[in-house]
Amino acid sequence: MANDGTITLRVKTASLLNSAILFISLALIGISTASLYLTGHGMKTMDNVFPPGKYEWYRGETPGTKHIVWLRYDGVNEGFILAGGAIGLLAGIVGAVGSVLSFRSPKQASVKPTLYFLALPGAVAFIATLIALISSSVIFNTSNGKECYWENGYRPENVFTCSRELAACATAPYFSQHWESPDFWPRYQARRTACGETQTGRHLVIPLFVVAVLLFALSGLKVVLAKKALRSESGEGADERVERLQREEE
């Protein structure tokens, strides 16, 4: 059986891990909530001020002329970001609840079923945020596969297929807008706000991914240490158990 010093060290280690997981889980909740809100609000704003449809490009193929272009939205980019944020939020809540429950009885933390619920959400959040990070970066850097490249607007009847972020930050600014119109400045400010919100929502996927990795790593470490503690408390490992059973059969 483990001596008192080993038990004390094990309890302190478990408490330290619980504290770290709780802190990281709360950070995951905060970042996920911010990403979800900013992305969702930016999407709603663009749908209101620049809904899908036809717009007049600010300049035609020759000076002094203008023509019509079309805008439609591709929600894949925001879908990845929202999915990553939602899964990160769920993983953060589960991690925080699991840590609080483990604090109540640190000596028995290794046999709590809640322990194993910490590692699974962390792993799912790690995978989801990794996919969101890669996908959103590729879509932005390639202008949604060149489907939302702003220079295509010089072609009459061009159809822009954009994420809300690309539309707000790269395409909509080139749509003709009448300065004398009473809704010009409200739409201008709303578009700029939507651009900042959707960009920030995408940028938050980076810290979201980092925190998800930390949660996954610490949760996995806690599971490994818990299994070692169980073997230690039982007083025998797998080899010793086999030898004991063989002796009993003889």
Euclidean distance between CA atoms 92 and 23, whole angstroms: 10
Q: How confident is the model at residue 111 (pLDDT cuts 50, 70, 90)?
A: very low
Q: Which residue has the higher pLDDT, 169 or 109?
A: 169
Euclidean distance between CA atoms 155 and 121, whole angstroms: 47
- Percent of the chain topping pLDDT 70: 80
Q: How does pLDDT run across 75-102, given as a tens digit for each residue? A: 999 999 999 999 999 999 988 888 887 7
Give the strand pairing for 159-162 and 53-56. Answer: unpaired
Q: Contact, 174 vs 58, CB < 8 A?
A: yes
Q: How does pLDDT run across 123-148, given as a tens digit for each residue? A: 899 999 999 999 999 999 999 999 99
- Amino acid 2: pLDDT: 46
Q: How does pLDDT run across 1-26, given as a tens digit for each residue? A: 445 555 566 667 777 888 898 999 99
Euclidean distance between CA atoms 186 and 247, whole angstroms: 84
Euclidean distance between CA atoms 43 and 163, whole angstroms: 9
Burial annotation 150-181 (CB, 10 A radius, 16+ → b, else e) = bebbeeeebebbbbbbbbbbbbbebbebeeee
Q: What are the domain boundaries of the chain?
A: 4-249
Euclidean distance between CA atoms 84 and 152, whole angstroms: 31
- Report residue 141 CA to chain centroid gap: 19
Q: Phi/psi at 134 (nearest 5 deg)?
A: -65, -50
- Amino acid 4: pLDDT: 54
- Amino acid 29: pLDDT: 97
Nearest Cα residue to 78 out of 125, 128, 40: 40
Average pLDDT for residues 18-38, to the nearest whole number? 95
- Residue carrying structure tokens 């600010």: 58
Cβ-based neighbour number of residue 20 at 10 Å: 16
Euclidean distance between CA atoms 1 and 236, whole angstroms: 9
pTM for this prediction = 0.83
Nearest Cα residue to 111 out of 237, 225, 246, 249: 225
If you count them, how many residues does the chain have? 250
- Amino acid 238: pLDDT: 52
